[in-house]
Structure 1
Amino acid sequence: MIIESLHMKNFKSHQDTNIEFDTGISIIIGGNGAGKSSILEAVSFALFKQYTSKRIEQLITIGQKRMSVEIQFTAHGRTYRVLRERTKTSSKAIMKIKEGGRFQSLVSGDRQVTMEVQNLLDMDGDLFLNAVYVRQGEIADLIERTSSEKKQMIGRLLGIDSLEKAWKNFKVILDGYNEKKIRLEGRIESFKDLDEEFKTKKDKKRELSLQIKDVNLKREENIIESDLLREKKEILDKRSLEFEKATTILKSKTDFLEQLEKTKKDLDNQLSEIILKEEEINQIKPRLKKLEVLKSLQDNIKELKDLQKDEKKLVKIRDDIERFRDILNENEEYYNDYSRLDDEINTLQYAKDQFEGSRVLIQQYTERKSKIEVKIRQALEKIDHVLEKSNQILDTEFDSVEEFQDHLSTSKPQLEAELMIASESIQELKRELSNLQVKRENLDKPIKELERVKELCPICKSTITPQKRDELITDYQAELENNHRSSEILKDKLKRIEGEKEKLDSQQSRIQSINLGILNEYLKSVDENRQEIKNIDSSLNDLQGKMVILEKIETDIAQNKSKLRDIKGNYEKYLTARGSLESLGDYEEQLASLDEIKLSIRKLKKKISILMEIAGDSVENLPGEIAYLEELSKTHQHLLGEVSQKDSLLRRIDENQSLIQETLEELKKVQKVVEDSKYNKESHERVKKEWELKKDELMDLSGQKQLLVGQLHQLSDSIQTIEEKLNSLREYETELKNLKDFLKLLNLIRDLYGKDGVQKDLRNLSRPLIEEKTRELFEKFNFEYSDVRLDEDYDVTIYGPRGESSLDMISGGEKIAVALALRLGITQVLSGGSLEMIMLDEPTIHLDAYRRQELIDLLKRMSIIPQMIIVTHDADLEDAADNIMKMEKEEGVSFLVES
């Protein structure tokens, strides 16, 4: 593919930019933000609708409603044109092919155009960018990066990183399905022994159905007997109603009286216990007075210990501050000297960096000068050879090209003038001979007429005499003889002039065989090379001056570093002391804090002394005494709580005694009613008991039936639930089987995407191809190396006169050549070996001055790729360019500067 033209309207910062591309090296140069990289993005957008902006609407120039990009290119011998337009809500795309001098529509629509371009170029957008688009810093990275980083970068170009990403993403998918598998297995495990339970419950259901049938029969028999007993009972119930009522009241009052007597006894016991606890409180209370004193003493002793620790700490800080101040005073001069020397070294080092490339450049310029001198000698030898050959041709003996050119500038016009005169003379003589020939023919005709018709004049046809005829014949023959003599004279003159012209033609042919253009080219080359040597000598003189400065700088740096080493220990002592002082705080503040603590200690000691006099012997086991008294205090509080119920208890005792008196009087009245009744309780109780037994039996049967029916319903529900679970279990088992099969498939696919799968196959397949292409390209740079090899990590090994060498062992220029060959080798492999065009974005970025110059020299010598488009801000690359396009930007609009 060769790009012929690109037209952008309202694309990013390009309002209306039209670029005509040619083969060879085209440089798009401009400052940062001038819109250079947008050109490469426009190519990608036009071909594949790929862009770097977050949203496609951001490609439209701010304030505009529509943008378009049109690209024209050749591929496989045919010319194509792609146009893409975009508004904020719609898009349009059309691809045309050139047929018979006119463009005919091929396909339309974004997707259709992209597919057609992919089929035509045999690559998609990502592969196109990786193949033909060399990003910023890629060439430098192939030199500077570690093996793993280079391998990762080449993997990205080959598309392996997307496989690795897919392999990692598969882990998330697998984890999700594995979690689902575990959940399913857990559910299936929870249904264990479900079949056995289902069978057992089915048997139990049949058994319950039989039991319900037996209970129904028994219940019908008991209903009849129960009805007879119920009628007899109802008669006796009416008689016993009053008796039972009185008896119930009597029993209730008797029970209540017993409860009141029991309550009286309990209340009396509680009152006795409270009296005992009051006596215990009176014994404990005096002993608790020392507790507050002892606790205050304990707190003050603890506070004293804390203050003494703080005092000790502050004394140490005070001593450390004084010690570090002494260290600062002792080493301040060394610190100032060290800082000054370090600043000087940094300044010198910066200056050294500015001159660092001088040595390499001197060597480079010296080698370049030697090569140019060889070229000059070769050109001068060729000039001498051509001059010698030219002298032989012209039979001259000129010693210089200038003399020879002066001679030719004089003789060549003179020779051309003589040739012109000779040619004109020849033409004139030939015209005269032609006229004589016509006259001779005109004279021959009347003589023949006179010989044939003797009586008539051949001119006027009048009758003539024989004498007149003879006279006419004689005159005509005399004229013929004069004509013949004149013709012979003219022929002799023509032959002589033609001979002279042949000599002149031969001389002109020899002059024309002399290629003055070659001589001028050789002379021009010599002049240019001599001028370049002058420039190199001038640069070398400048560089020699810089070398003197550089050597002086290096000497100064070495001397200053030696001084630094001598005082480094004192400098570090100063820094350590200063850092320690900063962490220790203000000296005066620390002294003030120390005085405050000492005052507090004195006050506390006085207070503790007073408390110890009050505490007496209890100080000997202060913690134990405090613990004992605190437990005693808790007991005292508990007793106080219990004693506080005494008043309430006394009120309850009085109230209980009143209730006892009232209940005794009511009992006397109820006993009289019972004695007056004539009810036969035994007979009634017997009937009642019989009916109750029958009723209970009937209720038992009803209860058994309800229980059995309930169990039957519950069992039916349970069986239905189990059936549903069994159905779910079968579904879960089917789902688990399918899931396990699917997981096997996913693991297989993931393994294919892994490092030992497609990634490894792709590396193993591409590495030999990349190695072969890299070797072919590297050989074109004419270095003295026989082979280039790539290992599995894409580390480069080259073989030359000194044997095997790694990338670190060769010169900077050779490194650049290897990196460029490797990157272009990758491009060749990705493009299927049919690379016609490549785009480089800031190829010199991250390269030092020497390597940048080497890359420029390599690009100058490159003719292996028909079309190379380079976007750069590096003006040095203009030396390598066949075509230069300068981009500028004003008021936010990028445009191509007219050259």
Structure 2
Amino acid sequence: MRVDRVRLSNFKCYGDADLRLDRGVTVVHGVNGSGKSSLLEACFFALYGSAAVPGTREDVIRTGEEDCAVELWFTHDGVDYHLERSLKDYGDRVSHDCLLEGGDASWEGPSAVDTAVTDLLRMDADAFVNCAYVRQGEVNKLIHATPSERQDVIDDLLQLGRLEEYRERASEARLGVSDVLTDVRGQRKTLVEQVEAKEDKGLHDSLNDLETELEETRSDIARLEENLDEAETTRDEAQAVLDDQEEKRETLESVAADVEELQTDIAETEREREELKSKLRDRTDELDALCEERDDLLAEADLPDATDLPDDVDADDDEALVDYRLSELESRSEALQERINELSVDIGSKTDEAERLAERAADLESEADERRESAADLESEADEAADELAELEAKLDGFDDRIEAHREAFEDAPIAFGDAETHLEDLREDREERRETASERRTEVETLRNRIEEAEELLDQGKCPECGQTVDGSPHVDSLEEDRAELESRESDLADVEAELEDLDERIDRAEDLREAERAVENLEENRRNIEQLREEKAANVEDRRARAADLREEADELDTEATETREEAERTREAADELRSDLGEANGEQAEVKAEVETLEHLSDLFGEIAATEGTVERLRDERESKAELNEERRERLSEKRERKSELEAEVDEGRVDTARAEKERAEDYIEQATEALESLESEEDELRDRIGGVRKELSELESLRADRDALDERVAALESLYDEAQDLQEMYSDLRAELRRRNVETLERMLNETFELVYQNDSYSHIELSGDYELTVYQKDGETLDPEQLSGGERALFNLSLRCAIYRLLSEGVEGAAPMPPLILDEPTVFLDSGHVTQLLTLVETMRSEYGVEQILLVSHDEELVGAADSLVHVEKNPTTNRSTVTRGERPIVGLD
């Protein structure tokens, strides 16, 4: 993987920045706090989103802005990708949008893009910082980790955790099969016992005996049923007489009940009317009290005069006057609140300004001290300038040969030097056009093929391919041959376009090589110009440095004077803030008075609503009382009608007929009861016999079913036993495979770690480093004694950890499924714990990773001059102290390096 370009908008300390990156070693330099690390964090954020940066999403957006965006162009495994990720702060939430495009695919949305990047690089954000991105202050991260944590990190990078996941799945499957097998064996044992028990019962003989007894019982039941029919007829005739008399008696009782109910309802309604009368009196009193309170408040309220009212406000409408006054007071309150807010802001601004001026005064004094120290340093550096000139002359040797070697690539090229970028873009546009043409041709070919296949099928059925009619005598059959000829022509065109695409791919590969050669020449020429410029500047008059030292001392005196004046201005600003606080107190007092009047008027406005509601309630109670009076009039009319009907029914009831019918019914019911008991007994015997016969038949059916289930379980037990053995074999295979892969990786990582540490740590103190199977690290001295890496000095420990990081990087690049495209190697301030000698060893490590181990792109963040001089490309980061905004440029050296 290679990062080609990054563009920032409102990301942390950056406003707008656009940077192209090249192959080789690129050093990002600048003073502390200028934003160097933020530039790398932007690349990391583009790839992995919020998981790549500490803090919240809001922390990423530049202070004072509402949104930010990062665009990243990178090449991975020969495919160009463009990734854009943006945030927007809405106050209560932060939206997150992103889009990744590359090859013929695209992914949209944070989840889809994060998954795609993880799949492309075969590592998530944690794995990225554990392998390729050494953050500032985290160079010793792996050495401080426990062996278990180190094992988890490396196993995760090598994707060995998946094998453990698979082993656990196989183990869970084996245990699941074991549980099922145990259950099935228990089921089979139960079934065998059930089959044997049913076979011992003699079920067929029992079935014959029960069926004979059932026929005899059915004959007795038929005889009793005939006698019961005759008795039921007599009972029903007597019951008809009783029912007729009972119906008249019930009607009489119902009418009597209606009379009583109407009398009760009339009395209840009269009672309710008295209650409504009491409620009406209470609500009338309540309305009078509300009106009195309203009138009192209106008398006290400071309402506007008719002359002060607009035309749309009625001077005689108290409620409208209150609403108008409330509107005035709310406007006044809002104006006062705005004034309070403005004063608060001004006070805060003045206070902040005073503090800033005080800090500025302190900074000026500190800067004056720094100028004096710089003056002393300049005088010392003047004596060293001559020696540095010789070193720069040595660095210039060899640049022309390297430049000419890259220019030779254009000797047999179809374009001149400088046209490679345009030529490559033209070829890519041509390829895109050819791809669209090829897609169109494929669609045309597929359409023709489908039409021909359909036509041939219809012809086989004796029908015309165009009209669907029988072929005999049809004039449309000949169009099939035309389609076949057209298909052959389209296929030929498609083959030509695909051949052109292959040729364009080869030309694009060649054009990309030429473009890289151009960029290499540009970088070399730019670096040569930088060194020549540095040589010319260092070769300038050494006495200028001493003159600058004198100027710095004068500037220090001026800064002291400016610091005194700034402190005086800070004191004046504090006094202005105190005056504003007095104005704020007055505004707050007036605001309290307005709020008190608003509360009174709001209560008065509520009274208008309560009065209207109470008036409605009084009217409703009056209407309800009148309605109940009308209802009682209707009930009295119905009461008179019910009394007349009651007298008629009392004359129709005949007690003599009732007694005769009741006696006949009792005789019939006695016989029915006796016969029914006998019939029920016989029917019970019949049901019992049916149930017993059904039970025997069911048991016979169950016996056959149990035998079939037993045979099926025999087969299932055999299958589960085989599956259990296979799951156990699979579990052991995953366990053995993970152990073997870890052993191989540990051996390879130990070898690579020793090769790298031996390269960068060139003394006779240490023999080798051992990495155990449990990922414990041990350093062996020449005398055989062992050391924990924590016992190394600060610089040695930093080199040790850098060696471990680089060894892990090599292992991933060379040892996972063969050679794998890896992200750039990124080192953020790797020289923090290194002295000058160790910095030279770091340069050796970086050069070896690039030249011998093929790391295409290495990014270093450092202000170390030795690293800056050894870079293939330079990126300078600078922060404007006024706007606090960082800018980035290529090929420029920091001012400190020129002095």
TM over 0.5: no
Larger radius of gyration: 1
TM-score, length basis structure 2: 0.39
TM-score, length basis structure 1: 0.39
